[in-house]
Amino acid sequence: MILTVWDGLAAARLAGLYAAAASPRWRARQRHAEAVEFDLAVLLARNCTVATGLAIPARLPGAAVAWPVERADAAVAAVVSFCGTAEAVLRRAGELTPVWEDSLLGPVALARWLADCWTGRHTGGCPLRLPVPPPPWWR
């Protein structure tokens, strides 16, 4: 289950990067979301008992084609939807463990916070400061 959330986060991150490139509105929100995405990935990586799935994109590919604003808006709606699903899946993963894993409470909260970043309910936050070297899954 956690690996599925990981792969969804990778797709959500890429969709958010495209949206940010298409519109100043989404660019501002993506700056708030970026640190949350990274923190969520760190916590998920700690909880994955197998190797992580897809790489989390650090930036758009060099050959990326700009999206129209309508497509960017739809991408953000999909990211927010993913966040709700991720929150539910992570809660369920915690329920399925013999003893509730406190380590899953952080990812549950971060999934909600990520949605709040994209919907504009959370507009503060710190810029992402990557560790040196960055984790191998952040590409």
Condensed to tens digits (0 to 9), the pLDDT of residues 51-109 reads: 567 889 999 988 889 999 999 999 999 999 999 999 999 988 887 776 655 666 788 99
For residue 94, tell me if it sits in a domain.
yes
User: CA-to-CA distance for 91 and 124, rounded, in angstroms?
Assistant: 26
How many domains are there within the chain? Answer: 1
For residue 8, tell me if it sits in a domain.
yes
For residue 25, tell me if it sits in a domain.
yes
Check if the beta carbon of residue 40 is closer than 8 Å to that of residue 130: no
For residue 133, tell me if it sits in a domain.
no
Identify which has the larger pLDDT, 11 or 94. Answer: 11
For residue 83, tell me if it sits in a domain.
yes
Confidence of residue 34 (pLDDT cuts 50, 70, 90): very high
For residue 89, tell me if it sits in a domain.
yes
For residue 97, tell me if it sits in a domain.
yes
Within its chain, how far is the Cα of 15 from the centroid?
10
Confidence of residue 19 (pLDDT cuts 50, 70, 90): very high
Phi, psi of 138 (to 5 degrees): -95, 95
Phi, psi of 127 (to 5 degrees): -65, 155
User: CA-to-CA distance for 133 and 83, rounded, in angstroms?
Assistant: 28
Check if the beta carbon of residue 119 is closer than 8 Å to that of residue 88: no
Condensed to tens digits (0 to 9), the pLDDT of residues 100-129 reads: 556 667 889 999 999 999 999 987 777 888
Q: Which domain holds residue 70?
A: 2-119
For residue 130, tell me if it sits in a domain.
no
